[in-house]
């Protein structure tokens, strides 16, 4: 299999992961070309956020996807941010194929999460924004408009306080005084890692989290807070879709979901050993490279 791995537009934290992934491909006997403009069977890029230096990946994404060829996307994980990394085919979050159709109970304990019981005793509803320059946001309105739409719909069913948490790298033009009992608060962040340092405390006061498809929904579910998400969210199978259910959210069993989710992210040593590549290669050959 010929793979074109494009490392040149990746952020600083991508370098070591790319190196380990490339090593696993070479060990497997694949034909690997790094930063070469060739017609490969598969392209490999970092994330689908078309912003800053990563904007260079959009041309590669479009070239391969428009010709029906698969793109492997590496990115920072959400289960152990900066310690585990997602690797999927043709997208991110639930829009990606993580080759995790088969899974077991072996990997979930590696992430060290204790699944808290469902406990929506808080009062606030938290709307978590995400970056609207991502391929994940394609076809959706600007972030501030999406947030207004969620608030308008929520207000049909409840007067609970609403807290809007924008993505830290996506500035929005949102005026909270246009609504009653709605407040905007930017996440507190470690600006070296972009880790959220206050979301867990917020969740202790939260009735439900509203989010399109990004990582905060996963954290909410693990901490026992119901979520309202889109079909593109990895929390779709344990979440809610209709905001008309905001007062009576579903709270399903999460064990199978967690075990399958554990096969979307990999630790650097596992990547270097080729554990994700074994699964991805099999899936590529079965579905995408016939």
Supply the pLDDT for residue 193: 46
Q: What is the pLDDT of residues 160-188, one digit of tens each?
A: 999 999 887 767 777 888 899 999 988 76
**Fold equal for 2-102+265-288 and 124-253:** yes
Decide: 90 and 71 in contact? Cβ < 8 Å.
yes
pLDDT beyond 50 at 223: yes
Residue 196 confidence (pLDDT) above 60: no
Task: Write the pLDDT tens digit of every residue in 228-248.
Answer: 999 999 999 999 999 999 999
Using pLDDT thresholds of 50, 70 and 90, give the confidence band for residue 53: confident
Mean pLDDT of 103-124: 94
For the beta sheet containing 162-165, the strands, ordered from the edge strand earlier in sequence to the opposite edge, are 182-184, 162-165, 124-128, 206-211, 227-228
Choose between 203 and 168: higher pLDDT: 203
Give the model confidence (pLDDT) of 249-260 as tens digits: 999 999 999 999
Task: Say which residues have a Cβ less than 8 Å from residue 138's Cβ, sequence separation at least 6.
Answer: none
Average pLDDT over residues 212-226: 96
Q: Give the start-to-end residue ranges of the domains of the chain.
A: 2-102+265-288, 124-253
pLDDT score of 197 more than 80: no
Which candidate, 113, 17, 12, places its Cα nearest to that of 72?
17
The β-bridge relationship of strands 85-89 and 124-128 is unpaired
pLDDT of residue 192: 53
| Residue 72 · residue 42 · CB < 8 Å | yes
Instruction: Specify the pLDDT at position 108.
Output: 98
Beta bridge partners of 5: 34, 44
pLDDT tens by residue, 123-134: 999 999 988 888
Q: Return the pLDDT at 190.
A: 53
What's the mean per-residue pLDDT of the chain? 93
CATH topology of domain 124-253: Rossmann fold (3.40.50)
Phi-psi region of 216 (alpha: psi -120 to 50; beta: other; left: phi over 0): alpha
What contacts 98, CB < 8 A, 6 or more positions away? 86, 87, 88, 89, 263, 264
Does CATH number 1.10.1060 belong to domain 2-102+265-288?
A: no
Number of neighbouring beta carbons within 10 Å of residue 6:
22
- Using the predicted structure, report yes or no on whether residue 87 has a pLDDT greater than 50: yes
């Amino acid at each position: 299999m010929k793979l074109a791995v494009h490392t040149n537009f990746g952020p600083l934290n991508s370098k070591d992961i790319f190196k380990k992934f490339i090593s696993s491909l070479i060990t497997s006997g694949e034909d690997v070309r790094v930063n070469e403009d060739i017609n490969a069977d598969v392209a490999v890029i970092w994330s689908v956020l078309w912003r800053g230096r990563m904007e260079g990946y959009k041309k590669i994404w479009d070239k391969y996807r428009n010709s029906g060829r698969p793109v492997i996307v590496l990115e920072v994980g959400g289960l152990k941010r900066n310690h585990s990394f997602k690797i999927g085919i043709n997208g991110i979050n639930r829009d990606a194929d993580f080759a995790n159709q088969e899974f077991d109970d072996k990997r979930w304990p590696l992430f060290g999460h204790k699944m808290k019981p469902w406990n929506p005793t808080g009062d606030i509803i938290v709307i978590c924004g995400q970056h609207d320059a991502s391929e994940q946001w394609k076809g959706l309105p600007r972030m501030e408009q999406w947030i207004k739409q969620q608030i308008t719909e929520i207000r049909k069913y409840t007067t609970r306080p609403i807290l809007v948490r924008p993505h830290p790298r996506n500035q929005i033009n949102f005026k909270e005084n246009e609504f009653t009992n709605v407040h905007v608060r930017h996440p507190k962040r470690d600006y070296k890692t972009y880790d959220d340092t206050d979301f867990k405390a917020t969740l202790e006061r939260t009735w439900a989290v509203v989010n399109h498809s990004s990582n905060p929904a996963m954290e909410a579910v693990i901490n026992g807070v119901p979520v309202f998400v889109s079909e593109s969210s990895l929390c779709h199978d344990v979440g809610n879709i209709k905001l008309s259910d905001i007062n009576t959210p579903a709270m399903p069993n999460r064990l199978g979901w967690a075990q399958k989710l554990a096969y979307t992210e990999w630790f650097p040593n596992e990547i270097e050993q080729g554990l994700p590549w074994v699964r991805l290669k099999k899936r590529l050959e079965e579905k995408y490279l016939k």
